[in-house]
Each structure stands twice: as structure tokens, then as C-alpha cells.
Amino acid sequence: MPKSLRSLFGLALIAILLAGCASGPGPSDTRPATQGLSASELLDKAQDQPATQAAQSRLQAAHILSRQGDDEQALDIARDLDVSQLKREDRIDRALLVSDLSLRKEDGRSALAATQILGDIDDMPRDAQQTLRHRRGLALTLVGKSRAAAESLIELQRDEAPFELNDDIWTPLSRLSETALDRMEDQDDSLTQGWVDLARLYRQSGGDMSRLTAALDDWRSDYANHPAARRLPSDLAALKDLRGNDVKHIAIFLPESGPLANVAKAIKKGFEARHMDALNQGEQTPQLTYYDSSAGNLEALYAQATMDGAQVVLGPLDKDLVSQLEQRDGVALPTLALNYGEHDRNQADELFQYGLSAEDEARQAAKRARMDGHHEAAALIPDNAWGERVFKAFRTDWEDQEGELDAVVHYDPKGSVSEATKRLLDADGKRSGNEDIDMLFLVALPSYARQVPPTLDYYYASDLPVYATSQVYSGQPQPRSDHDLNDVMFMDIPWLIPDAAAGGEEALPFYSTYRELDTQDDPSLLKLNAMGVDAYELARRLPMIQALHSLEVFGATGTLQARDDGRIQRTLPWAQFQSGVPAPLLTGGADLDIGNVTLDP
């Protein structure tokens, strides 16, 4: 569970505080007949009670279940009871309970719905109001509304709320793009300005620990009275302690011959472009030494790299070699492999894995669709081993979030789109345009994908939201060809959708390196170059990632973060086809009714 949520659980006595500070009688004054009853007895009793008493009994049962550790049932009961039948103090009590339970299970959407009460009750007791505002900020972080979360929590800090907020503020703030930080800066107050400047220096320091330490010292001089100057966010404090652990020598294991040689060449071009760019900008850069991994003798490669004084290994690229490494207890040197192994879990200490995995995209599609409020999914998946792996990732994440899969069609990529789509809509025996399905997960190349929306339209399902992986986009704007993909939502690496992902090329991560590499007509090569850029940045940050798995790198291929098993997870920006070209995705989440919070991206 994120550390930002741990502070929530010391607030169990809030209902008692409310009873003392709220006007009117407390729950014990209105429900004497229910004292001493169990949760099940209260729920049974509610079946025969008038609406007002029934709502109170169900709320009391939810509290009992929560104290007994049955958070799931407690949340279901508290969330579903008739709020209109509760008195003012009980409505506040319910909002506190639902927001707490929702955050415990990292359900930001439910927590936001509970904090809606902030706009409904003007004279709420201060402790309850500040607790709900705090939880609203944490919930906004969970649903990916980083700017709204940071602004909400900074405003709470300005109001001198009795919470330690630095870590909670830093989590969403550190994820913001330069454009979003510019928008926050327009507020022109010293508290916000201090936080914005702190986030900027963090982004600009790269993997250079000395540079980060010097920048933090300068920042503290400028903002001596800032809350973060008195106590740095935990993540920044941990990074500051790594001064002197900079990576000075990287060994790179890449094949010079064989089937992966051309892929390795494109990735290497990205390494070297980023390395020279960092050097030209005055950054501390590591020595790069290349080793031919074509023979696959890992022991010999590690032995030579160790003798040569390397601190970190970048590679291998071959999936079989990575699979060998991840089944060991550890590796001779901290290693960032350039592929993912075939096993369910990486068990080797100090082995990290990074690649352009479509499975990451599938998991992200599942999360996005659920955050947008969808429950009943359909899926169109290519009938091959790769498609099955991608679908498995989507299905696992979707079902973990209590989503339902109503229809799945594994299609022949060379077959009829119309036939596959009709099978999908009729999959459970109902009429075409199945009203139960409320979203479609699509994995398809552009030539196939372009035929899907017109076919949905033909079968009266034109309003079905479509979430797709990056394969749906060729990587180059083709308005005439992609016109039929209008409204389809998809994700891709920032370097291929600069206008949608970052608000223009100049806002892209590693912009000067991008300008150097974006001189070719093959988007697939640029994607491999971008992978090389991010691999270089991850490798020089490996000591930071080892010390702090929550560290995020804002890269050319997405936002990168190590999972518990060392596999790097990519989070990609979303786009939506408009007039046949990728545009920023402005839908999703905006329908959340949470009072007067502005839900900016």
C-alpha cells in the first residue's frame, strides 16, 4: 500500500469527534434499540425498519464490519445505503467511512464520490472537512489527476491542516510535465512557487546525483521557510543520500550478428545520441563499453565487464538470455536487461528488465477503461501467440478490478473484419449491438483497425468506446487513411505523438536528442532509438532505482517505474483520433462529480 495512505488509519475516532462538535443528537441518541447488536442483526433489522432508521442501521453495521476487518462488505453497505435518509452528522460520518475504506483498497473513484459532500455541507466541522479534503487529494492522485491533486493538497497545506503533507504533495507533483508545472506557476504564491521550482530541479537533474544535491542546496537557500525546506519529501531525501554513487562506467551487452543485430543497432544509436547530448549539456556522463553478446556466454561477458571496472550492465537483448538470468539468485553486476524474460516473475537480485512491452499497454487500457466507469468489456484479439499474451495481460488486470468480459473474439488478421465484429456483438447469443457491452478492447494493426469502427456503425454499435494499443497507429499522421478511426482511444510513446502527449515537440522528454534522431521515415526505428535513449537514462539511474523503487523516469517511451520484481513498467500517454490524427485525450474521468475540483490532465 502506498505510504501516502498510511496516515489515514489513525483517524478511526473521527466519528466520536463529530458527535461532540456537530449540532444535534449523535447516533447513540437516535438508535438506542440497536446498541449491542451485531452487523448481521442490524442488517436484518433494517429490512423491516422505516427508511430513515434503516439507513442508520446499515451505516452502523458498516462501521462494525470495518472494525472487524471486513472492509469489502463494509464499503458495499456504506456506499449503497440511501444517503438522503441520513441526518447531517450521519452523512458526514458515512463520507468519512467510505473515503477511508475506498482509499484502503486504492479505489480513487469511490473516494472522490464520497468527498462530494464537501460541496453540499457549508458548515462542516473543521476536522472532518480537512480530513475529507486530504482524502480527496489522495484520491485524485490515484485516478491520475496529478495537477488537481497537487493543487488541492497544496491548498490544504496553506490552510495549516494537521497532516504531514509533503510526501502526499510530492507524489503527484513529481509526475507533472513542464507544461503542467507552467500552469501551476501562474498561481503566483510562494508556497506553490516553491513546490513548482522543487519539481523542476528534480526533472532537470537527470541521473546526476551531484547536480541534484547542488540544486537542492540552492533551492533551500531561496525557500528557507518552505515546508519542504524543513523536511524534504522522503523520495528526494533518499536520493540526496546517494551522492557519490553516480554510475561512471556502463558495460553494454548487445549482439553484433544474428537475427537481433539490426534491432541492437537501432537501440545503440539511441544510447549514443543521448550520451553525446548529455555530454554537450555539461552533465556527468558514464563511460560506455560494448561487448558482443552474439555467442550468449553470459559468464564470460560478466567476468570481462567486471575486470574492466564496469559498475552497471545494460543488456542482454535476447529473450532467452534474459530468461536465464531471471531464474538465478542474482547477477554479478547490477543489470538492466533490454527485454523481458518468459517466466512469471523475475527472481534475480539486482536484475531489472526493460522493453517495449504491449502487455504494459493492455494493463493500462484495462485501468483506463475502469477509471472511465466501464464494467462490461468486449475484446478483438489477433489469433496468434503474441495476441494471446497481450489479451492475458488485459484480462488479468480487468478482472482484478472487478470488470466483466462479455465477449472475446480471436480473429484471423487476414480474415473478414465484418465477420469477426458480428461474432463479437453476438457472442453471448443476444442481438447485434449488444447493450450489455460498454467498451471494446482492440488489438490490431492499422489496416485491420481502420475497418472496425465502420463495421460497428453498420451493426448499430457506433457509440461503443474503443480502447486500443499502440499497434493501431502507424506512427505517422495519415488523416485520410485514419479518418475512420476517429474517436478511437489509444496510447503510444511520447516521441510518436508529441502533440497529443506533451503539447508539442518542444515539451518532449529529451527534446534535443529527439530532434537529432527524428530524421528518418520509419517510426519503428525511431521507437527503437527512443528505447535506447530511455535504457541509457535508466542505466545511469540504477543506484537510484535500487534505493527507491517509487522513482519515476519521464522518458521518450513513457513514464518508467520499477515494479517490485525489477521489471520496468511503462505508462504511456493517451491520444484519440480526431479528424484522422492523434489528438490529446480529453475524455475519461471528467464525468466524476467531485465538487469544484478542476480535473486537468
- Structure pTM? 0.80
Pairwise CA distance, residues 255 & 560, whole Å: 25
Cell numbers that stand for 37 in this block: 447488536
pLDDT at position 188 is: 67
pLDDT at position 32 is: 43
CATH entry, 249-358+524-570, from 3.40.50.12500, 3.30.1490.190, 3.40.50.2300, 3.40.980.10: 3.40.50.2300
pLDDT at position 427 is: 66
Q: How large is the greatest C-alpha to C-alpha distance in the chain, in angstroms?
A: 81
Q: Which long-range contacts (CB under 8 A, 24 or more apart) does 176-184 make?
A: 176/146, 176/147, 176/150, 177/502, 177/503, 177/507, 177/554, 178/203, 178/507, 179/502, 179/503, 179/507, 180/146, 180/147, 180/600, 180/601, 183/147, 183/600, 184/147, 184/150, 184/151
- 569 by Cβ neighbours in 10 Å (0-12 / 13-18 / 19+) ranks as middle
pLDDT at position 601 is: 39
Domain 39-241: which topology?
1.25.40
10-residue mean pLDDT profile of the chain (601 residues): values are 43 36 36 69 92 93 93 92 92 95 90 93 92 96 90 94 92 86 80 93 75 87 93 85 82 96 97 94 91 93 97 96 94 96 90 94 94 92 95 95 92 94 73 69 96 93 94 94 96 94 86 89 93 96 85 92 92 94 69 41 39
Contact indicator for 157, 191 with CB cutoff of 8 Å: yes
Query: What residue ranges of the chain are covered by domains with CATH 1.25.40.650?
Result: 39-241
DSSP state of 567: B
Q: What is the CATH number of domain 359-506+572-584?
A: 3.40.50.2300
pLDDT at position 197 is: 93
- 74 by Cβ neighbours in 10 Å (0-12 / 13-18 / 19+) ranks as buried
pLDDT at position 600 is: 42
pLDDT at position 588 is: 41
Query: What residue ranges of the chain are covered by domains with CATH 3.40.50.2300?
Result: 249-358+524-570, 359-506+572-584
Pairwise CA distance, residues 569 & 382, whole Å: 23
SS3 351: strand
pLDDT at position 187 is: 67
SS3 332: strand
